[in-house]
Structure 1
Amino acid sequence: MDRSIRVRLSGMMFLHYLVMGAWVVPLAPYLMALPTDGGLLFTATQTSQIYSTLAIAGIVAPLFIGLLADRLFAAQRIMVVMNFIGCGLMATIAWWCASQQAELAELYHQKLQLAGINGDTLVSPAAGIASQLQRLHQDPELRARVDAIFRPLFGMLFAYAMINLTTTTLTNVVSLRNLERPREMFGKVRLVGTFGWVVSGLVVAMLLNPISNSPMLFACVLSIASGLYCLLLPHTPPAGKGTSIGEMLGLPALGMLRDRSFAVFLICACTLSMVQSFWVIYTNKFLTDIQAPKPTAVQTLAQWSEMLCMALMPLAFIRLGVKWMMVLGLLGWLLRNGLFATGSMPLSVVIGLPLHGLSYCFFYITAQLYIDRMAPLHLRASAQAIFVFVSSGVGTLVGNVIASSIVQANTVGSVVNWTNVWLVPFLASAVILTVFLAFFRGEVPVSDSGHPHPPQPSDGPNSATKSSPGIEVTLSRVARR
């Protein structure tokens, strides 16, 4: 019976992340591409604001999940409905983008002719052409047309993000409530989701046109399949108890900030999430600009390395411990941003992209294990909620604003100075790593009152596998990366 459930839950994860991977990665290049290439001419700021819908939804959606899944409806039934609603929303978004892009492309051609710019020179614009494009892209009529596309798209994508992140969290809820040994088996089930993300990236790159609404239509079809599949999931009735808004935001665990290491850890996690915004939003655009072959397919190297690092984590955790695992993760961020700053396509692809596994898994996943061991039993869920709020919420939102400002300031026409852009997260990563090394002293078990106390003889490597009421919050951050 347990094997049958694991197989069904693995299929759920595969389909869910197949849907997400279909549109999240190619969205930024599509939004920022020139209308002559099929894009929507969004600025870096507008693109960042579109991606911020995911961060805002990540803060707001849990407030509704507690009411729906804990008190009112079976989780798998909510997922069926959410997938079908998501399909309808994404189909509307795809239609809106395609219809508006056609009108925008016509207007853009007219502006090019009036400016005396040959469309053939846009493939690799020289400095003079880039300056002309910069002025052209500030044309009031053109900007007004782009803004008219942006505003409804922002609203529709925010609605879709609410649906999508609700479903993301419910995949964790259904898995954790139905697995016999959730701490042992969840990682293996969730790993299948990462493989689904890889498959969708390969399909989009090899069979579809990423600079179009085709990935969105692909996501629509997959959403229908995912919704129908959810009918086969184990019945997961409401837990019969709800969670207050204060608990969802982690307010009961604020007393843990009196511990210097925990406070330093949260500050570093928040600022690292700002650095991560550069990666999430602009990596695919960067790979496109440095002429990496099949950028969406190439970017799946990051997920392959993530799967490898997740498999190596148990051994590394025993040998290195919490602090040095997270130090290696931070070092991965530093090295990758530095390699991207060189602008070298071979270095960025062959070494930079695979560093994602080290940087993400060794910091973020280890961080959640650290919280689970650091917090007393009654505060674990609240402590995890604080972590999600400052990293996926505040850190991501602020990071999106900073990243878009940096990219916008280093863009002339359609040409981005990526060396200047990636130097910012490189220097930020160096500061975060230095602060973490200097002030974080490692794991310190705490008493039930929330104060640190010396390690007890029973605390060892296996203590991370003890049951925790915060496990669903712990692993939902992994799923929303």
Structure 2
Amino acid sequence: MKVSRFIQLSIMMFLEFFIWGGWFVTLGSFMGNNLESSGAETAMAFSTQSWGAIVAPFIIGLIADRFFNAERILAVLHLMGAVLMYQMSQASGFSEFYPYILGYMIVYMPTLALVNSISFYQMKDPAKYFPYVRVFGTLGWIVAGLIISFVFKWDAAENIANGMLSNTFMMVAIASAVLGLYSFSLPKTPPQNKGGALSLSEILGLDALKLLKDRNFLVFFMSSVLICIPLAFYYQNISPFLTELKVENSTAWASLGQVSEVFFMLLLPFFFKKYGFKKTLLFGMLAWGVRYALFAFGNSGDLFFMLILGIALHGICYDFFFVSGQIYTDSKAGEKYKNAAQGLITLATYGIGMLIGFWVAGQIVDKNALADGTHTWQDVWLFPAIFAVGVLILFGIFFKNETIKYKA
């Protein structure tokens, strides 16, 4: 791949995840402080990610795969996102804010698939080159957190109290506009199914439901949905949790999870080959239970290292389960159902699983809210810790070990 092409795609990926990391991490704190939202309302805001994931296949399947170049749709969606982000920065109440965040996630979530499609189309060997492009996305997320904490200090306690987190939406609106305009300069990526008719089952990846006849894949599928409930607790509560404990530069500390994601992504092939798929996933699920126990019993004082260790475990939690799961799904699907199977897993996890997870997290947070606006965080974090261990036990019992082919 040409160096100029690599640079183009890397900038695209950097901006794509800079945009997501620039507001999603601090959303929980923004909801509680700027909008004075309840746990249930915060859950509704985070759940828009799931609704976006559910709608995304329709946008990709009905439009991107049939009529227009992917880079042009990417441009239009991010320009629309810039406008919606600006409106979110101006909102003063939940009822005003919610329609904008819902609209934004409906236009943003399809872009995650589009940047992948654009990248894959330009690569002769995606397995070799894509990780080097994708890592710039993780770097973009990290840089966004560092800017919020160290450049503008919007997540400092006094600035949060003064409503400064609304500036994160303005920053992202500008970045979204930049990526929207930049996307018009990206390499052409024509429709992959131009003129072809797609059924509803093909768009949603439902053709891959045949894979559920395989007992192992069914156990993996159900475990993927269930483990998204603990995952939702992390995304929804890490910022309010650190903010309430008065942790300085909380957004930067939270980005440590993405740093570890890069590290453990490099270790994944080693674990996968040495221990196999089942043990790798069990490592991932065990890490979920351990990290939430660390959050439950750590503090911002002498046990602050426990919070940092819990955040750093994000790499194992995410890579060892979700990335391994994508590899397993690809190996089980075969050529005919590869795309459909990945679409089905995405719909089940980011769609259904996290939709349930955000709702559960909102209920648990409200149940443990105190009169002064604080929370009994130990009880909040123990729920997903125990839940993750339960999923681990069920997966360990019912999933029979099998050898699958994997090209590192």
* TM-score bin (small chain): over 0.9
What is the aligned counterpart of 1:398 among 344, 356, 377?
Answer: 356
Helix, strand or coil: the match of 2:130?
A: helix
Q: Does 1:355 align with 2:310?
A: no
What is the aligned counterpart of 2:174 among 209, 216, 221?
Answer: 221
**Which residue of structure 2 lines up, in the alignment, with residue 49 of structure 1?**
44
Q: Tell me the alpha carbon deviations over residues 389-444 of structure 1, each in whole angstroms, 9 at most, x when there is no partner.
A: 21111111111111100000000131100000011001101111111111111346
Helix, strand or coil: the match of 1:232?
A: coil
**Which residue of structure 1 lines up, in the alignment, with residue 151 of structure 2?**
207
Which residues in structure 2 correspond to 1:6-405 (within 5 Å)? 6-33=6-33, 39-95=34-90, 97=91, 100=92, 149-208=93-152, 209-210=154-155, 211=160, 212-239=165-192, 240=194, 241=196, 243-345=198-300, 346-405=304-363
CA distance in 2, matches of 1:318, 1:4: 34
Helix, strand or coil: the match of 1:72?
A: coil
Which AA in structure 1 matches 2:313?
Answer: L
Please, which runs of 5 or more residues in structure 2 have no aligned partner? none
Which AA in structure 2 matches 1:422?
Answer: W
The alpha-carbon deviation at position 276 of structure 1 amounts to 0.7
What is the aligned counterpart of 2:383 among 417, 424, 427?
Answer: 424
Q: Is the 8 A contact 1:273 1:391 kept in 2?
A: yes
The alpha-carbon deviation at position 315 of structure 1 amounts to 2.1
Q: Does 1:434 align with 2:393?
A: yes
CA distance in 1, matches of 2:181, 2:59: 23
The alpha-carbon deviation at position 378 of structure 1 amounts to 1.1
CA distance in 2, matches of 1:153, 1:194: 27
Q: Is the 8 A contact 2:35 2:94 kept in 1?
A: no
Q: 1:222 to 1:60 in 2, by over 3 A?
A: same
Q: Is the 8 A contact 2:276 2:403 kept in 1?
A: no
The alpha-carbon deviation at position 30 of structure 1 amounts to 1.0
The alpha-carbon deviation at position 242 of structure 1 amounts to 5.3
Q: 1:180 to 1:50 in 2, by over 3 A?
A: same
Q: Is the 8 A contact 1:6 1:179 kept in 2?
A: no
Which AA in structure 1 matches 2:365?
Answer: V
What is the aligned counterpart of 2:369 among 398, 407, 411?
Answer: 411
Please, which runs of 5 or more residues in structure 1 have no aligned partner? 34-38, 101-148, 446-459, 466-481
CA distance in 1, matches of 2:236, 2:191: 36
Which AA in structure 2 matches 1:201?
Answer: G
Higher Cα Rg, which structure: 1
CA distance in 1, matches of 2:284, 2:166: 35
The alpha-carbon deviation at position 78 of structure 1 amounts to 1.4
The alpha-carbon deviation at position 321 of structure 1 amounts to 1.6
CA distance in 2, matches of 1:443, 1:47: 41
Q: Is the 8 A contact 1:198 1:304 kept in 2?
A: yes
Which AA in structure 1 matches 2:26?
Answer: P
CA distance in 2, matches of 1:86, 1:440: 42
Which AA in structure 2 matches 1:392?
Answer: Y
Aligned length: 393
Which AA in structure 2 matches 1:248?
Answer: I
Q: Is the 8 A contact 1:10 1:189 kept in 2?
A: yes
The alpha-carbon deviation at position 26 of structure 1 amounts to 0.9
Q: Tell me the alpha carbon deviations over residues 172-221 of structure 1, each in whole angstroms, 9 at most, x when there is no partner.
A: 11011111211221122111100000000110112332433100000011
CA distance in 1, matches of 2:19, 2:339: 28
Helix, strand or coil: the match of 1:315?
A: helix
CA distance in 2, matches of 1:313, 1:404: 32
Residue range with higher mean Cα deviation, 283-292 or 365-374:
283-292
Q: Is the 8 A contact 1:2 1:180 kept in 2?
A: no
Helix, strand or coil: the match of 2:191?
A: coil
Q: Is the 8 A contact 1:278 1:403 kept in 2?
A: yes
The alpha-carbon deviation at position 353 of structure 1 amounts to 0.6
Q: 1:3 to 1:243 in 2, by over 3 A?
A: farther
Which AA in structure 2 matches 1:177?
Answer: Y
Q: Tell me the alpha carbon deviations over residues 145-175 of structure 1, each in whole angstroms, 9 at most, x when there is no partner.
A: xxxx222321111111111112222111101
CA distance in 2, matches of 1:256, 1:58: 21
CA distance in 2, matches of 1:158, 1:348: 35
Give the fraction of aligned pairs with identical amino acids, expressed as a percent: 33
CA distance in 2, matches of 1:17, 1:341: 29
Which AA in structure 2 matches 1:182?
Answer: P
Q: Is the 8 A contact 1:247 1:385 kept in 2?
A: no
